Structure 1
Amino acid sequence: MAEHSPEGFFESVFHQLPHPRIIVEADSPKFTIVTYNEKFKEISCTQSRDLTGSSMWDMYPADETAIAANHQIRQALNKVIETGRPVIINSLRYDIPAVNDNKPAESWWQAEYLPITGTAGEVKYLMCAIHNITQQESRKKELEQAQDLLAMAMDAAGLAGWTADLATGIITFSESARVLHGIAVGEIATLPQLVQSITAKHQERVSQAVQQAIDTKTTFSEEFIVHPLNGGTAKWIKSTGKAYYNHQGEAIYMAGNMLDITLQKLEEQRKYDFITMVSHELKTPLTVLKSYVQMLAARAKKTEDSFTAVALEKLHSQIRKMTVLVNSFLNVSRLESGRIELDNTAFLLDDLIREKVQELALTTKNYDIYLKPCPQLPVYADREKIGQVIINLLSNASKYSSPGQQIEISCQNEGALLKINVKDKGIGIKASDQSKIFDRFYRVENGQTQIIPGIGIGLYLCSEIIRQHRGQIGVESVPGKGSAFWFTLPLSK
């Protein structure tokens, strides 16, 4: 070992250590280099020269980064001497010139400075343990850049981010999310607080959607009104999120984003207020027109005027269609404004289906509707609205099938739910359209559907009615081979 080697130190062991190590004297401010191992020579690119006896500040030219790094290192070394305790620098930039190249490569290090004491307990030497963390720092920078880009993209889109620790209930908000909820800087927000800030009529729905997303490992997406915690104006928010799990499959936190949709909701409300007004205004003349047509039809029948009777029957059919259309618009308006209330009772679904099949048979000719007997189990739902769903699905099946083709409706028990299926052998639906078929005003556009009347609200109404019943609705279809629409309802407890 060199002349300045610490007494009792096993030089052979020191030089075989797998990580870079260097020992310096505690002769601040010089810090004379006593010895260093082979790994230090390798990472410092100093194999061609002997550093022993020189100051550790003389290893490399004093450029801007070296001056800043040396200042940090000098502070750490002096602190070890003063306290006799180790000091760690977790992230230190110190650029080391490569061999045969005077241009330093950007390098990042983690350094730990340990005291080596003499017999009197004084710090005589310091051992520096060094770890190259350049790759980790590079990945960290890339991640920070990606996060910055994501944050800018979210800001541009008006999105606000959030994360929730499911163990502590503490929520972390982005700046824009914090403003949305009226939370002061530094103030801690919790899940119970957030739930309480949601308007009362939306709380249960949102809580159930979040819990279902956790239980089924899926994403939730809900729209609701929040009352900011600072007493600010209530806002409509659309929030999406999903849970993340540990190795045991336990949900540990949730993350997602939210969007202020208040202006959009106000615009929709104005639109639906207009639709409601127009629909109500149309109902009165339609009712009067229907009455006159019925009187004229009765007179034509008495006078045996067959031409007039047929014409009036066709006119009556068009009035019925117009009435259904007006009522559909009214139902959409009520759904969107949340004014539809469910009158849930326990009833046998089989009885309702038979009733609606018979009702449809009077107006839909040339179609064979086959009813498979349903289990005699009572469901708990709004009988009238579920009747609308059944009529809608059967009417849809007939519209998109050729005359004479069979339409099948059946039920099956699925635990606490009853599942209803309506199958046809019609034109079918492409996979790309199936995910949108229940959207408001969406219609499948192709050569076969252009001649079929409709404005794309029937299936939307069905989906909203079923959603309000806490059921599910879906479709399975193969183009050219038909479709199977289904929905579920809770059984009566």
Structure 2
Amino acid sequence: MSNAKQTKRVTPGSRETLLHMLETLPDAVFVVDDTEAIIYANASARTLSGTTREEACGTSLWCGALHLVSPSLYQAVHKAKETREPTEVTYVSPATNRWLHVSLSPTDEGLALFFHEQLEPLPLQHALSQNEHLYRDLLDSVGDGVMIVTPEGLVLDINQLSLADAHLQWEVVVGTPLTDLPAWSSDSVVQEHLRTAIARAARGETVRFEAKIHPRTDLSLDILMTITALRDASQQVEYLICAGRDITERKHAEDELRVLIDAIPQLVWMARPDGSREYSNRRWCDYTDMTSEQYQGDGWLQAIHPDDQQHVLEVWQRAVQTDGPYETELRLRQGTTGAYRWFLVRAMQHKDDQGTTLKWFGTCTDIDDQKQAEQRLKASEENWRVLAETVPQLVWTARPDGGLDYVNQRCRDLAQTDAEHLQGDGWSQFVHPEDLERVLALWRHAFATGESFESEHRLKDCRTGAYRWFLVRAMPMRDETGQTVKWFGTGTDIEDRKRIEEALRQSQERASTLMDSNIIGIFATEGEQIVDANDTLLRMTGYTREDLRAGRINWMSMTAPEYLARTRQAQQELATQQYLTPYEKEYVCKDGSRLPVLVGRVALQHHSSQAIAFVLDNSARKELEQRKDAFISTASHELKTPLTAMKLQAILLHRQLAKQGLQASAPTLSSMETQIIKVTRLVEELLDVSKIQADRLEYLQETVGLDALLHEVVDTMQPIHATHTIVVRGAAPCSLVGDKDRLGQVFINLISNAIKYSPGAETVEIDLSASEETVAVRVHDHGLGIPRAQCDKIFERFYRATDPNQKAIPGLGMGLYIVAEIVRHHGGTLTVESEVGKGSTFTVTLPCKRGARADGAHATRVI
């Protein structure tokens, strides 16, 4: 047997019976489908709702039974639909002010609602009655318009204030979509705004917005609308509470304020409590070239520099969330040019008496010029810092009270400490004790008077422990009122300058001593003119200081005519090497007398036309030399006669002894003859020197074959100097015009010197070479050599090298002097190349005459 529950089938007959029963019930019965549309209403229900059967069926319960609608009923309907279980609710009908008890039973098609009217509430219902009356009283006593609507937007209840503004009855409004009421439907934009707000609130958001509505044709209101969602125990949104506050007066005040704001030179804006922008003044719109639609909400961010947007938004959101003030700096784009300028943006909340934020008021102040100035100042300060750290000076700054507040790295390196230890007067410990009191006094004076500070004093270099001289300067920087706001200072190392100054002082003392000398004449020249001179020079030349001031002293005009060529040569030497080797000349004094002098000159480094000359009176030496030359000439002549007699007697004695067969005395006699020859040669050289000095040395003019002359000299000297081999290389197939004996004297002297000054060598080389115009003879030895510094002096009269190795070598220093004079007379040159320890090479270069006969017979004596 089956245990399945039997389902009773509803037949047409039973349906009719059921309907008849329902029609006779005293309670009102409504049957609604899942969409809450009425599909059946019995007679009591139609009477209660005041509708016919045709009017009721197909109509929403909330529109077809307005007298029954309340939030309590709405909650019960949704609960029964959700749980599919019977439920009950008791409430006061807002339309009839009567108590209704409703039983709700789920059906296959929806719900069956049984309404029972109660005249006297039960004890429990009495408590509910008090709550219901409290609810109604509260709803009507609220100063704002309040509506309770479904999540779909149908009005479930409305207070009297809202009805009074619109001149509507409660029955007309309840069950109607809020967006279809005249107050909202008269403006499609406002209607759409409300529809969007209801949709957002149905998702659980609390939505606030302002709108201008028209409850009736003769009334326009500005309201602040707040829509709040009410949730059930399962956190599902049951219905929405819409509160509209009349802000018409405030909006009028705001409009007046906007007129005032548009006249303000700043960019001004207003934002809603949630932070979204709702208004910007005309200057803001003109600057950004944005319309009211573009800047609404967060649209204003598009005018902010991309690099600033994130920071600005974070600061703005933090101010909105914390309800605190807002301030930031940002760059705003100028709409017409696209350029950005810096603005300081500030905003404050406008709150009501309860402390609720109603508006944000903000301003944008153009600070671009200030910002650019700050950036330039920052760049300038940075450049100053970089400069301060790179310049070679000590750099520091001080506060108005004089205490240091910055020192560069060079200061820290010098003091070997950080900036902190140099703060205040910490720097004074590095000043030399002997300078400290003076420096402090100067600094206190500068600080007290505001004058610049300057001092030369010594600072301790802690790296070495030594003191160095520094030039320290400081300048005050003042504001527009003239007050000192900072001191800027530098310290320049002048240690080297101080040393130079001291050396210069000593040099000036020595120069003064030299200028005051009564031995050396000194004068300064500008070109050929003497522009200054010491008293010694004036005394030597007979000129006066008046002659000097009048420009009547010219050193070229003072030069004796025979010394002009040498003077011009000296002048060229001065121009080339900035100094000239002292040379001898004669000045013509003011009285016409002549003054032998030794002159040296140095050109000034930066003024090539200016020079300093030093003049030494050479009269005494010249007179001594003249006496010496006269003595040598006289002595030579006096010695020559007895020497000639001795030489002849020696020859005669040698012959007599040979005839007598007395050969034992021959070596002694030969040695005596050799010494007589040496003395004779020495006397002849002395005579030659005397003649050269007197310019009376005699020369013959004859054709000379140089090859033959040179071989003749070598053949004569080789037997006498057996210790060295004289090697002749090359040939000179040409002849020249000159004195054969004097030229022979040149080569004899050079070969003799080569042998004499190379005692440890074995050879002396002679190289001959010729060109079209000249013939050159080089005499090379492997001997002691000559120091480079002495090579130019060995051709001077009586000069001998000072090398200790040469002191044992006899000689008076006349040979090379004579050789040089003979070569010069023949139009040739004599040079020497030498290296100490490796020998010397003397080169004689003479002009030759090609094609001339080597054995010319014509000879002419030249005196």
SS at structure 2 position matched to 1:476: strand
Partner of 1:311: 668
Partner of 1:198: 559
The counterpart of 1:225, out of the listed 572, 586, 604, is: 586
In the alignment, is the contact (CA less than 8 A) between 1:220 and 1:242 conserved in 2?
A: no
Shift of 1:393: 1.4
In the alignment, is the contact (CA less than 8 A) between 2:529 and 2:555 conserved in 1?
A: no
The counterpart of 1:159, out of the listed 480, 503, 520, is: 520
Shift of 1:201: 3.3
In the alignment, is the contact (CA less than 8 A) between 1:381 and 1:489 conserved in 2?
A: no
Distance 1:225 1:483, change over 3 A: same
Once the two structures are overlaid, the 10-residue window that deviates more, 329-338 or 342-351, is 342-351
In the alignment, is the contact (CA less than 8 A) between 1:328 and 1:458 conserved in 2?
A: yes
Shift of 1:106: 7.7
Amino acid corresponding to residue 583 of structure 2 in structure 1: E
Amino acid corresponding to residue 233 of structure 1 in structure 2: S
Partner of 1:172: 531
Amino acid corresponding to residue 474 of structure 1 in structure 2: V
The counterpart of 1:373, out of the listed 709, 723, 730, is: 730
In the alignment, is the contact (CA less than 8 A) between 1:172 and 1:189 conserved in 2?
A: no
1:100 aligns with 2:444: yes
Partner of 2:783: 426
In the alignment, is the contact (CA less than 8 A) between 1:471 and 1:489 conserved in 2?
A: yes
CA distance in 2, matches of 1:403, 1:106: 66
Shift of 1:442: 2.5
SS at structure 2 position matched to 1:296: helix
Once the two structures are overlaid, the 10-residue window that deviates more, 176-185 or 290-299, is 176-185
SS at structure 2 position matched to 1:372: strand
Shift of 1:298: 2.7
Shift of 1:287: 0.4
Shift of 1:161: 3.0
Partner of 2:714: 357
Partner of 1:334: 691
SS at structure 2 position matched to 1:455: coil
Partner of 2:601: 241
CA distance in 2, matches of 1:219, 1:446: 29
Q: After superposition, what is the alpha-carbon deviation per residue over 1:164-207, rounded to whole angstroms, capped at 9, x for unaligned?
A: 44xx54343522334434442324257xx544533343333333
SS at structure 2 position matched to 1:325: helix
CA distance in 2, matches of 1:314, 1:476: 34
CA distance in 1, matches of 2:703, 2:557: 32
Amino acid corresponding to residue 443 of structure 2 in structure 1: V
Shift of 1:254: 4.6
In the alignment, is the contact (CA less than 8 A) between 2:832 and 2:840 conserved in 1?
A: no
1:442 aligns with 2:800: yes
Partner of 1:389: 746
In the alignment, is the contact (CA less than 8 A) between 2:522 and 2:614 conserved in 1?
A: yes
Amino acid corresponding to residue 397 of structure 1 in structure 2: A
Partner of 1:477: 835
Once the two structures are overlaid, the 10-residue window that deviates more, 388-397 or 178-187, is 178-187
Once the two structures are overlaid, the 10-residue window that deviates more, 482-491 or 343-352, is 343-352
Partner of 2:510: 149
In the alignment, is the contact (CA less than 8 A) between 1:171 and 1:188 conserved in 2?
A: yes
CA distance in 1, matches of 2:692, 2:670: 33
CA distance in 2, matches of 1:279, 1:100: 87
Aligned residues: 376
Distance 1:398 1:474, change over 3 A: same
Amino acid corresponding to residue 281 of structure 1 in structure 2: E
Distance 1:391 1:101, change over 3 A: farther
CA distance in 1, matches of 2:626, 2:683: 18
Distance 1:194 1:350, change over 3 A: farther
CA distance in 1, matches of 2:440, 2:701: 76
CA distance in 2, matches of 1:350, 1:172: 57
Q: After superposition, what is the alpha-carbon deviation per residue over 1:201-259, rounded to whole angstroms, capped at 9, x for unaligned?
A: 3333333343355457663331122221x12531111112355688xxx9645543221
SS at structure 2 position matched to 1:219: strand
In the alignment, is the contact (CA less than 8 A) between 2:754 and 2:781 conserved in 1?
A: yes
CA distance in 1, matches of 2:699, 2:807: 33
Shift of 1:392: 1.3
Partner of 1:66: none
CA distance in 2, matches of 1:160, 1:316: 53
The counterpart of 2:653, out of the listed 289, 296, 304, is: 296
Q: After superposition, what is the alpha-carbon deviation per residue over 1:33-79, rounded to whole angstroms, capped at 9, x for unaligned?
A: xxxxxxxxx9xx99669xxxxxxxxxxxxxxxxxxxxxxxxxxxxxx
Shift of 1:315: 1.7
In the alignment, is the contact (CA less than 8 A) between 2:786 and 2:801 conserved in 1?
A: no
In the alignment, is the contact (CA less than 8 A) between 2:736 and 2:848 conserved in 1?
A: yes
Q: After superposition, what is the alpha-carbon deviation per residue over 1:340-364, rounded to whole angstroms, capped at 9, x for unaligned?
A: 4777788665454334333433533
Amino acid corresponding to residue 715 of structure 2 in structure 1: Q
In the alignment, is the contact (CA less than 8 A) between 1:408 and 1:424 conserved in 2?
A: yes
Q: After superposition, what is the alpha-carbon deviation per residue over 1:249-292, rounded to whole angstroms, capped at 9, x for unaligned?
A: x9645543221111111122222222222221111110011111
Q: After superposition, what is the alpha-carbon deviation per residue over 1:131-151, rounded to whole angstroms, capped at 9, x for unaligned?
A: xxxx89987896466244224
In the alignment, is the contact (CA less than 8 A) between 2:531 and 2:548 conserved in 1?
A: no
Shift of 1:399: 1.9
In the alignment, is the contact (CA less than 8 A) between 2:528 and 2:556 conserved in 1?
A: no
Once the two structures are overlaid, the 10-residue window that deviates more, 275-284 or 366-375, is 366-375
Partner of 1:128: none
The counterpart of 1:186, out of the listed 519, 527, 549, is: 549
SS at structure 2 position matched to 1:474: strand
CA distance in 1, matches of 2:715, 2:533: 57
- Give TM-score, length-normalised by structure 2: 0.37
Shift of 1:327: 1.5
CA distance in 2, matches of 1:492, 1:156: 56
SS at structure 2 position matched to 1:312: helix
Shift of 1:368: 1.8
Amino acid corresponding to residue 99 of structure 1 in structure 2: W
Q: After superposition, what is the alpha-carbon deviation per residue over 1:103-149, rounded to whole angstroms, capped at 9, x for unaligned?
A: 995899xxxxxxxxxxxxxxxxxxxxxxxxxx899878964662442
Amino acid corresponding to residue 323 of structure 1 in structure 2: T
Larger radius of gyration: 2
1:276 aligns with 2:637: no
